[in-house]
Amino acid sequence: MMADLFSSGGMQALELTLQFAGQRQRLIQSNIANIDTPDYRPMDVSPAKFQKSLARAIAAREQLGGDQAGGPLLLNDSREIVQQADGSIRLNPQTASGNVLFHDRNNRDLERLMQGLAENTTTYRVAADLLRSRYDVLRTAISQRV
C-alpha cells in the first residue's frame, strides 16, 4: 500500500516525463552550444515517440489493475529510449538529418532548436507542477490524521 502511494495514478508517468525532459534538455543545450562547430550534426530524441510509448505503458498498466492501478510503468524499449532496471530512462539520441547542410558540414537550424528548447522547458514545467500538486494532495491527506 505504501509503495502505491508514490506510484499510483499519474505520478509514475509524471516522473518519467520529468526524466525525459531533463535529459532531452542536455541534448538541446549541446546542439545550441555546437551551433558553429564544423562537421557537427544535431542529436535529438523524438518527444512524440516517448509520449506514444508512455501512453501504451499506461494503457497496459490500466488493463492489469484498473483506473487507479499502481506499480511501475514499463516502457517498450525503443532505439531512442531505453528503460533501465531501476525504472529510470536513458536516452540514446539519434543524429538528425534532412536539413540544409552548411558549407562547414553542420546542418544547424537555430529556429527549430529554440522551438525545441521552449517546448521542452514547458513540458518539464507542466510535469513538475502536476507532480507538485500530487504531493500537495498527499501532504493534505497526511496532515488530516489525528
Query: What's the CA gap between 21 and 125, in Å, rounded?
Result: 9
CB 78 → another protein: shortest distance, Å? Answer: 21
DSSP secondary-structure letter at 115? H
Q: What angle do CA 84, 44, 113 make, to 5 degrees?
A: 140
Is the CB of 55 or the CB of 137 nearer to another protein? 137
Residues that bind another protein (CB under 8 A): 18, 21-22, 25-30, 32-38, 40, 110, 113-114, 117-118, 120-121, 124-125, 128-129, 131-132, 135
Q: How far is CA 67 from CA 49, 61, 72, 129, in A?
A: 23, 9, 14, 22
CB 58 → another protein: shortest distance, Å? Answer: 21
Is the CB of 37 or the CB of 99 nearer to another protein? 37
CB 56 → another protein: shortest distance, Å? Answer: 26
